[in-house]
Structure 1
């Protein structure tokens, strides 16, 4: 087997300096981390429209890919909805590979070198994340950040699930939510007249005529190049699963700019999104009121930018404010850490709730980006999914034509959020909710099929449901996007629809 030593050995060397007691556990976790990332990469090779994959041949022994240069790549049958690592090795010609970074390097495809380096970081960071775990208590968390910090492996389908280039081992341990740190946010003073502010900027983040914009310490050091102010005690906060969003002790969440490439994107905060944040927040409250109590959307309390995506922040409600006595608000990505997600009956209940809300909103004219990080479910004391909570409106899609058809005033929105394109609207919802949140909760194609078949007859009979029942499922072609640096925007793959085919 081939082993790329660079990222793995670099992390091991750094770990020996800062946390030597974790080195043995980190080393033991590497094979499982390689398999986890290789499984995600194999999904992409099997289903994404990669230009150098000429054909795909499914046989009794697995899947064979014919490459445009005549080589052949062999591996197991690919379940596009599997969340467990089942690909331990694939063969390029007669050579076996158990490491995704080495495989992509030897495939020698355009722009593959940089992605291979990211895959190496993903493996090493994933092993580090797993090495620091102490097991989950049988008692459910009571704090919102405790739920978030249960998500150890990151994105369930992205090969860059834990890629954190630019972060040292010490920084990953200090800032990664799965390591359960307390992070001290800096407060950068900026004159209020020099800022774009929407909503009500909190009084506790002001100093006279200046705004005190919360800044992630990584951003302060590496991007803003600001030395720590010894007279600023900062703000102690708990990182959530996105790493750049943190829960404050008094309740609200703060989304900070973090100009590092995590998974796919550089996590800054655009001036565009700050400008729309208050309008979107008010609009979302209006829509949620039409959902018969099945949906809440966390309100944006205030947003500010010093006219730069590198120095901006958004303050919004914690989803926990929508929990009644005895209820829990659980991020969908964290459901896999509970016994609930292993129950087919519970999966069906959750699918019915999520699809009812998603399809009703889509019919009205709004497509949510309802993946496992943005979508949360309110669980009753008895364990039933009773309501949804949605957060982060920055990447939804809004159709003025559909809104007008239903007599809903069209908000003053511009830019990428606004579209009447039916394909774009359905991709946004189905790709994030069905191929994302529901698939990630179900954990496999057969389980997802069972959940969908159990509830599809009870869903609102819209034209969008008809499309969901008949067409291939869209999903972002995450690997293709990383291999296409000159192509802006999202690119898409089509997955087998479990309501249509049983081939996985």
Structure 2
């Protein structure tokens, strides 16, 4: 078996010096982390339009991928909706690989070296994240940020699910939510006349004529390279750069590090549009869907120094209810309870298709989409946060008497394919697939629901065509191609 020791060895060395008590657990978690990342990579190799793969075909009890240079990659029959780690090794010609970084290196495809490095970081960081978890069962959390800390493995389908290049072990332990730290944000004073401020920036984040901009400590040390004033404590959420403040609101900070797929800066355009998008979303809310309001946003004119304040989703929980990110539902046991996944799918599809028919496609993956649970765990309502990447169809809106005036041009499109991709790819291919965990379970959750939904062209596309999802690996291997790229998965309903 081939292994790439680089990232794993680096983390092991830092851990031995910093937290020797975790060293043995880290080493024990490495095989499982390799399999988890390799499973995600195999999904990409078997289903994304990678230009160096000529064709894919069944071979015995597995699949074979024929590369354009004549080599072959052999692996198990893929389930593109499976979560976890069911792929422990694949073969490139006659050589078996259990390490995804080593496999990507030896595939020797364009831009593969950098991606292999990210895969190595993903494995090492996932093993570190798993090693830091408390032993035994944990009670259901009481606070929203505690739910976020339960998401240990990151994105269920991205091979770079835990890639954190540029973060030392000490920084991962100090800032990553799954390690349950309290992070001290700096407050950087900026003259108000030098800032773009939208919404109501709170008085306690002002100092005379200066705006106090919350700054992530990693950003202050590595990008801004200057101290950021007195600290403001917060609990990191699963995006790492967003934190829950003690008095309730969440603050999204700029973080110029590549996490999973993208650098987490905050564009000037996002700050400028924050209030308009929040007001627009309030018009769409109903008794089954809430949107967290943006309270205020600020930037000094650069994406490296900006922050957004928004409501905590907890404000939409009634007595005895919990608001849980969909990504954190794994491990609760709810999806295994008879009928629960079907009822959750019914709620999610009813809301999602109704919005899409009105012209709004949410980026409703497991991080942005939250579900309000009753005291017994029944799914009651949805909460959506972070409107920056939604897509809006002005023509569809107009048919319902809703104006798109004031919304940023970059989110506007009447292209039906673009709207459906955004909606179906995140809600079904992301949130629902991640909760159910396999093609068979996803089909079981969906099939009775879709029969009861209004018969619309969008529903016909959802149930009769391949399911569009982002081609996450293709995007990482195409650094010169901006924007999202897509692939289509077998539709579990067909």
- The TM-score, its normalising length taken from structure 2, stands at 0.99
SS of residue paired to 1:337? coil
Contact 1:359 1:460 in 2 (8 A): no
Counting matched residue pairs gives 494
Where in structure 2 are the equivalents of 1:223-302 lying within 5 Å? 223-227=223-227, 229=229, 232=230, 234-288=231-285, 291=286, 293-302=287-296
Contact 1:74 1:92 in 2 (8 A): yes
Shift of 1:414: 2.7
Shift of 1:228: 5.3
Structure 1 residues 181, 118: CA separation in 2 closer, same or farther (over 3 Å shift)? same
Instruction: Give the equivalent residue in structure 1 for 2:492.
Output: 498
> C-alpha distance in 2, partners of 1:200/1:409?
24
Shift of 1:139: 2.5
SS of residue paired to 2:451? helix
Shift of 1:344: 4.7
Instruction: Give the equivalent residue in structure 1 for 2:461.
Output: 467
Instruction: Give the equivalent residue in structure 2 for 1:49.
Output: 49
Q: Once the two structures are superposed, what CA deviation does each residue of 1:139-172 show, in whole Å capped at 9, x if it has no partner? A: 2111111000000000000000000000000000
Structure 1 unaligned residues grouped into runs of 5+ = none
Where in structure 2 are the equivalents of 1:62-101 lying within 5 Å? 62-101=62-101
Contact 2:105 2:113 in 1 (8 A): yes
Superposition RMSD in Å? 0.9
> C-alpha distance in 2, partners of 1:343/1:117?
39
Contact 2:215 2:228 in 1 (8 A): no
Structure 1 residues 135, 333: CA separation in 2 closer, same or farther (over 3 Å shift)? farther
Shift of 1:461: 2.1
> C-alpha distance in 2, partners of 1:113/1:370?
31
Instruction: Give the equivalent residue in structure 2 for 1:190.
Output: 190
Asked if 1:169 is matched to 2:169, the reply is: yes
Instruction: Give the equivalent residue in structure 1 for 2:19.
Output: 19
Shift of 1:82: 0.3
Instruction: Give the equivalent residue in structure 2 for 1:419.
Output: 413
Contact 1:271 1:307 in 2 (8 A): yes
Shift of 1:411: 2.8
> C-alpha distance in 1, partners of 2:203/2:228?
22
Shift of 1:135: 3.9
> C-alpha distance in 1, partners of 2:51/2:441?
31
Instruction: Give the equivalent residue in structure 1 for 2:103.
Output: 103
Where in structure 2 are the equivalents of 1:17-416 lying within 5 Å? 17-135=17-135, 137-227=137-227, 229=229, 232=230, 234-288=231-285, 291=286, 293-416=287-410
Contact 1:364 1:403 in 2 (8 A): yes
> C-alpha distance in 2, partners of 1:36/1:246?
27
SS of residue paired to 1:51? coil
> C-alpha distance in 2, partners of 1:465/1:309?
38
Q: Once the two structures are superposed, what CA deviation does each residue of 1:166-191 show, in whole Å capped at 9, x if it has no partner? A: 00000000000000000000000001
Shift of 1:8: 0.4
> C-alpha distance in 2, partners of 1:238/1:34?
29
Structure 2 unaligned residues grouped into runs of 5+ = none
Contact 1:396 1:417 in 2 (8 A): yes
> C-alpha distance in 2, partners of 1:430/1:479?
19
- The TM-score, its normalising length taken from structure 1, stands at 0.97
Asked if 1:439 is matched to 2:433, the reply is: yes
> C-alpha distance in 2, partners of 1:401/1:269?
29
> C-alpha distance in 1, partners of 2:174/2:84?
27
Q: Once the two structures are superposed, what CA deviation does each residue of 1:227-261 show, in whole Å capped at 9, x if it has no partner? A: 354xx2x1010000000000000000000000000
